[in-house]
Every structure is written in C-alpha cells, then in structure tokens.
Amino acid sequence: MPVDPFWECIRAENYILSTNNSSLRPLPPGVFEPGDFAYSEESLSAIFNEYLERKGYQLRPAEERVFNANGRYCIVLRRLSADKYVVCYLATFGGAITIDDIHDPVGQYFGFPLGGQAMWNGLYPLKTVPRWRASSGGAYILGIPVIREGLQNSNLGKRFRLALPELTRLVTLIRERDQVRIKFTSRNWVLRALRIFLDMLKEFADYM
C-alpha cells in the first residue's frame, strides 16, 4: 500500500501530541492497558500453529513442531478480562535489519517494524513512548494476535507503550494482512512457509 504523505503528517502530529500528553503512570503488577508492553514466556512456532488452526488447517503431528518458549515482550491490543489479554509478540527474526534479511515467508508477511526512522517494506516503523530501540529486545512485531493470560510487567525500567494512533495503525495492519488470504489457499504454500519458519527459529533460537 503506497504511503499517503497527508496522512503521514497527521500521524506524526498525533504521535507528538501523544508523546507530550500521554500518561505513563505506573500500573499495578499484572495490569495492562491497550498499547502497553508486557512480558511472558512464548514460542513463536506455537503462535503460527494457532493461526493455521484458526484458518482451518489441520496440521499433522510431524508438522506441529513447537520450540521451547522463551521470555519475550508483547504488546497488549485489548483487555478481555482481569487477567486475559489479546497480544502480539515481538521478534528479532535473527537480528534482521531489513526485509531482505528475513528469509522466511512468515516473517516477511507478518513482520511489522518497530522503532527507527527508515521506511521498511513500504511501512514506517511503529513508534513507541518512550522511543523503542532494537537493543531493548525485538525490532519487529509479529502481527498474529493471540489470547494470553499471566502476563508480567516488563523489565525495561520504564512503562513502554505504543502511542494511541500507532496502536490503531497496528490493528489496521493486522486486519489487512488477515484479510489478504490468497497466499493461504494452497496447503503446499502453508507447509513450505511453516517449514522455513521453523528452520529459521531453530537456527536463531538463541537470538529470538
């Protein structure tokens, strides 16, 4: 989707206003608002398996390889109940800097850049308050929402969150990706993407 300069100016102004006026007051442990960063143990391969099951793909036991969960950050999209949230997890995709560094179809399709200034795959990176740095842990958002419980406060020292207009943009990007289903009509494509994705996770397990 081409970038509209007019709406990019509006987005930049909203980001500045949100940065200057957002309330970053501490919240009670385990309580999060939409846009907040949280932390929990999670496996990216399990997330993609859940996505395929939601889309009606029945994976065989040999295809359901799930790597051990690692502690990773996530972004809260919505609060469902006292301890249940819709979240998206962060990933580094092996320390990828550009889309050319991501070698699996899942990361290329569902990965949204976080922080920085350079436009990536036609998208300006999603902005956070305070400003996010890749060294903080994960420079991409895996745009596959999942429901999780037992989230923990991050160890970042500050309360990081997406600015309100950026949270809205993230939700819009997720919906756009989910609605474009032509790539997922072929089981062969799905299995190829799953195999490459799992191989990538295995190769970069210590850096994800």
Q: Using a pLDDT cut of 90, give the percent of the chain over it.
A: 26
Query: With bands split at pLDDT 50, 70 and 90, how would you rate the model's confidence at 14?
Result: low
Question: Which residues, listed in sequence order, are joined to residue 140 by a DSSP beta bridge?
Answer: 91, 113
Q: What pLDDT does 44 receive?
A: 85
Average pLDDT, the chain: 76
How much is the average pLDDT of 125-146? 82
For the chain, the domains span: 5-207
d(CA 152, CA 197): 27
Among 117, 112, 90, residue whose Cα is nearest residue 99? 112
Higher pLDDT, 99 or 106: 106
Query: With bands split at pLDDT 50, 70 and 90, how would you rate the model's confidence at 98?
Result: confident
pLDDT at 107 over 70: yes
Q: What pLDDT does 22 receive?
A: 47
pLDDT at 63 over 70: no
Query: With bands split at pLDDT 50, 70 and 90, how would you rate the model's confidence at 3?
Result: low
Which phi and psi angles does 24 have, rounded to 5°? -105, 35
Among 48, 49, 107, 112, residue whose Cα is nearest residue 75? 112
pLDDT at 147 over 50: yes
d(CA 105, CA 140): 14
How much is the average pLDDT of 2-20? 53
Query: With bands split at pLDDT 50, 70 and 90, how would you rate the model's confidence at 59?
Result: confident
CB 44 within 8 A of CB 65: no
What DSSP designation does 101 have? G
3-state SS class at 141: strand
- Can you give the C-alpha Rg of the chain in angstroms? 17
Q: What pLDDT does 208 receive?
A: 40
Name, in order, each residue with C-beta under 8 angstroms of 201's C-beta and a sequence gap of 6 or more.
44, 45, 67, 208
Q: What pLDDT does 145 receive?
A: 94
